Each structure stands twice: as C-alpha cells, then as structure tokens.
Structure 1
Amino acid sequence: MTVAGVLVTTLWLSLIIGARYLLVAGAVHAWLWRGKGTGVRLSATRPSARLIRHEIRYSLISTPIYALPAAIVLEAWKAGGTRIYLDPGQYGLWWLPASFLLLLLIQDAHYYWTHRLMHDGRIFGWAHAAHHRSRDPSPFASFAFDPAEAALTAWVIPALLFVLPVNLWVLVALLTFMTATAVMNHCGWELWPERWVRGPVGRWLITATHHSRHHTHMKTNFGLYFRLWDRLCGTDAMPPVRAQTGSTTTAVP
C-alpha cells in the first residue's frame, strides 16, 4: 500500500460515491416529489431548489472525506492487511448475518454519542449546522454534512474491517443498507405503513417519521438505525399520530 495508491483510489471512489449519491437521491426525489408520491408526506413544504443546492454541495464536499478511509481499506485489502474475506463459509454461515448486525450496532452506538456531542452549542455551528439547514429535508440531505461531521463518522466501519472478519458481500450489503436508510429517513415521506412504524418492530427502529422530528425538534432522536440509545437515555420521541385531512395524510399539529 502506497500513499499514491491511496490518493488515486480516493479520487475514483469519490467519483463513484458522488455519482451513486446523485443517482439514488435524485431518483427518489423525482419519484416522491415530482411523481405521484408513495406513503405519507412528512415535510411541511416542498424542498426548494436553493435547499437542494445546499444539500448537494455539502454532500459532495463530504464525499472525498468518506472516500479516503474506504480507499485505505481497499488498498490494505489488496495487500492482505484487512479482515475482509471471500469464502462465505470461512467463519460459518451464522457469522454472515451476525457480523452484519454487529457492525450496525457498533456504528449506531458511535453515531448516537457523536451526534449528541455535535449538538453541543460550542461546536454545533461548525460541526453539524449544515445538516440542520434542512428543517424539512429532501433525499439529497442524506449525506449533507459539515466536513467535521463527515470526518467524525467516516472512519468507523473502515476501522472495524481491520479488527472484525467481514465477508465482502456482507460489506456490500451493509453499504447498500446504509445508503437506503439514509435516503429513506431524509426523503420527507414515510414509506412504511403507520401500523408498522408505531408497532412492536417500529418502536425500536429509526424511520422517516422518527428522524423527521429530530430535524424539527433537535433535542431528541439522535439514533442512526435503532431507537435503543434514545430510549435508554430519555431522548426518544415520536410525532403525534397522523390524521386524515381530505385526500392527504398529514401530521397532527
């Protein structure tokens, strides 16, 4: 692994990550906001062109910050220096879902406490304010972070790949899941049924309904995937049950 190799890999990973972000967020935005929409609309207003430009700008600024740790891992893997493996049975098939869940739990715990730290008034302005410009976020807000926030969160999964054995395809599934949940939870619509969101399973998972409240009430709902830490620390809150108003489902004031 060389510095030049890492820099070149960072460059092309930045291009791939940026293109994937624009493609996925753009497709979801067009589907929900320019099409017929599916699910329940959560945002009070349609995302403005100005807000979307802000979200895209900060997302693309964050892209190389996320690409650099990934490039280090990729170059180290090529040199045999990580715990990434190819044979699904090498550690037993049970380890495939177990490692997937373990990575999510570790990342979720790290994000909860980092997220709460970034809401400290002494650092909020330069660490997390860019993301909260989106009070009613669009799918493009899914990766719209200040450089400091990107730097604080980009290294967690890459670092774990030097410690925990992870199958390559589990890693691909994890990255796909991370992108999907980030876009869904910022898209301004709740795509899951209400009975699921507020049911026994939904009570423990972050959904667009749950995360939208964080963008409007910033002292609650700091989790990434799970509501566990929010519930343990007394920061969990759900918006009121929605009511039907004509043909549109909206949130109760």
Structure 2
Amino acid sequence: MDDLKFGTRDKRGNWRPNEALGSAPLFVWPWSISKFIRWLPGYFLPWNALFFAIAAVFWFFMTPARETMQDLTWGWPLYLLARNAALVIAFYGFLETRLYIKRRQGTSFKYNAKFPAEHPSDVFMFKSQNIDNIIRTFGTGLPIWTAYEVLLLWAWSNDVGPWAVFSLHPVWLIFVGLILPIFHEFHFYCIHRLIHTPLLYKWVHSVHHNSINPSPWSSLSMHPVEHLLYWSGTLIHLIVPSHPLLLLYHLQLSGTGAVVGHVGFDKLEAGEDSAVTTHAYAHYLHHKYFEVNYADGMMPLDRWMGTWHDGTPEGDQIMKERFRRKKARANAAKGTTPAE
C-alpha cells in the first residue's frame, strides 16, 4: 500500500497520519447516533474481538478445573505462567519478526523511521532495547500478570468475591464485558498519571520510557512496581459481579493488548490493498513527547485535563505552547527568568 495516501513523511522519514486523532463518539457531545453506529464495529474489530476470542479459548480449553484451583499449589500457577508466556512469545514474536526483523513493510506506515536494533544505547541492558525489553517482560511482567490471574481464579474457585454466572445474570455480564475496554483505559490513565509524578517517574516509569521508539517487546517492559500497578485494575472483579471469562478477557486487554499501542506502525499491511489499523498513534506520541496522551484517546480524559495531542501540526503547536507556559511557571517559582 502507498502510505502517502494516508499520511505524510518528513525529511527524516518519520510518518504521520493525515487524520487528526479523536475520541470515541460515545463521549463526544452533542451525541450523534449515526457517528456512534459507524464507530461501533471498530470498537470490537479486530482487537477487542481477538482478545475476547483468546480469553474464551483460555477459559474453555486451557484453564484448570475449579477443584484444582481451590488449593494454592505450584503446579497450576506454573502451568498458567507457561501458557501466558507461550502466547506472548507467539503474538509479540510474530509482530517483532514480521515488522522489525524481516521488515516486511519496510518503513511503510512506521511513525519513527529508525529501527531500535540499529541504535544501541547505554540505557538498556547489553545496550540492546530488545534484549532489555525481553528480560523485563519475562523477568517480572509475566510473573506479575500470572500472579494476578492466580489470585483471582483462586478467589473464584473458593467463592471469594461477588462472582456471577451467565445463566442467571446474562444482561449484567454482557454489559460488563462491553465496558471492560473503557474501564481498562480509565484505570490505565489514572495509574499512568500517578507514575508520571516526579518521584515515581524517576525510579519507576522511566524504565518504560527508555523505549522512546517502541517496538512490540517494549509493551510490557516496565519496572516491577509499574507491573503491579498496571494489572491492579483486574481487582475490580473482586468488587463488582463478574465471571472468570471476563477476568481473562481483562487480562488479555492489558497483557496481550499492550502490544497494540507499542507496535510502532499505524497499519499492518495484509495485502496490496488492505491493512489492519493499529490505533497506536496516540500512545506513540506519548512515548515521543512524554507529557501528552496519558490515555489512548478513546475516552477524552487528556482533552479534559489539557494534555491531549491529536497528532496534527496544530497539535504540535498547542503542545509547545503548553510546555512554554509550564517552563515559565517553573522559572517564576524559582525567581528566575528564561534568559537567566
């Protein structure tokens, strides 16, 4: 596909889409039913539907029996860890191999024209972004992901929490399933703003931001404290009536789904005239500029809080003006002027 039909490329080879980023019509006022209907298929397809399908396969075919999970032994948690690791290796590995090793698309639809492997850096272990990201993903990311899963499945198995069944509460559970991606983004925004506070950013979140030009393996490359906060949203299943299938779906949204925002490409080509949209641009801009787009854009949280960047040149100017005012306030607090 010709990516210049959909965006522009600067003199450095970096690509940006023509269309400005926007929030889901569900949250835009005045509300439009026609815009909502046109947007709705994209809410499910392809990503949320894929992650729900993975969760369903895990629940029906790859999760131990309830009786087994009533006791906290080593066997079934290690099995879940291996299952989750296999999924990440397959999904992340496929995208990394296709886009960054074999480079099947080259730089077509790639936001940053550079490839991380070509630019070693001392901020990473062994000066390699990929090696560093992989070590952090498997060293603490997957164990903490699985620990939350083990805790919550053990709670369900022992009737700890307000768990429900589809046969008795179908409408409620369908509703919960429909809004889980929205809740996940809201929770992500809240913890994301928290770890951007100076102390937590310096000692925790800066690890993730070392990957300024993210690739698939950057997705779960975090400090262990950030991993603990990142998956804490799944504890909602101990508060509101839910079902283990929805818990697994929630874990897929946050675990496997993290790769969507870090893939580094706006579209994944599926043929000469077809491609899958990633919706990764909002989060890419966060990695590039640090203080914009703390959420992924579906909810207008950043717009409400003044940290939204819509990806346009106009958005660049708004961001620069905000940074200028912030610097001026900091200088005023110190009793200095920019010239000093």
- 1:219 is aligned to 2:291: yes
- 1:54 is aligned to 2:121: no
C-alpha distance 85-3 of structure 1, shift in aligned 2 (>3 A): closer
Q: Counterpart amino acid of 1:13?
A: L
C-alpha distance 175-113 of structure 1, shift in aligned 2 (>3 A): closer
Give the gaps of 5 or more residues in structure 1: 194-201, 242-253
Match of 1:111 among 188, 212, 219: 188
Count, aligned residues = 227
- TM-score, length basis structure 1: 0.78
- 1:43 is aligned to 2:120: no
Q: Counterpart amino acid of 2:211?
A: S
SS in 1 for 2:154: helix
Aligned-pair CA distance for 1:76: 1.6
| 1:160 aligned residue | 236
In 1: Cα distance, 2:80 partner to 2:241 partner: 23
Aligned-pair CA distance for 1:210: 0.9
Aligned-pair CA distance for 1:128: 0.7
Whether the aligned pair in 2 keeps the contact of 1:40 and 1:189 (CA below 8 Å) is yes
| 2:152 aligned residue | 73
| 1:134 aligned residue | 211
Task: State the superposition RMSD in angstroms.
Answer: 2.9
1:2-49 Cα deviation digits (max 9, x unpaired): 997165544333332222222211011122232423961112311318
Whether the aligned pair in 1 keeps the contact of 2:282 and 2:310 (CA below 8 Å) is yes
| 2:223 aligned residue | 146
C-alpha distance 171-108 of structure 1, shift in aligned 2 (>3 A): same
Whether the aligned pair in 2 keeps the contact of 1:17 and 1:63 (CA below 8 Å) is yes
Aligned-pair CA distance for 1:191: 2.0
Whether the aligned pair in 2 keeps the contact of 1:43 and 1:137 (CA below 8 Å) is no
In 1: Cα distance, 2:262 partner to 2:145 partner: 19
1:158-209 Cα deviation digits (max 9, x unpaired): x21122222343334443344453112101101289xxxxxxxx9xxx9211
| 1:83 aligned residue | 162
C-alpha distance 149-98 of structure 1, shift in aligned 2 (>3 A): same
C-alpha distance 178-152 of structure 1, shift in aligned 2 (>3 A): closer
C-alpha distance 7-114 of structure 1, shift in aligned 2 (>3 A): farther
In 2: Cα distance, 1:11 partner to 1:44 partner: 40
- TM-score, length basis structure 2: 0.59
Kindly name which structure, 1 or 2, has the bigger radius of gyration based on alpha carbons: 2
- Identity score, percent: 22
Whether the aligned pair in 1 keeps the contact of 2:109 and 2:265 (CA below 8 Å) is yes
SS in 2 for 1:211: helix
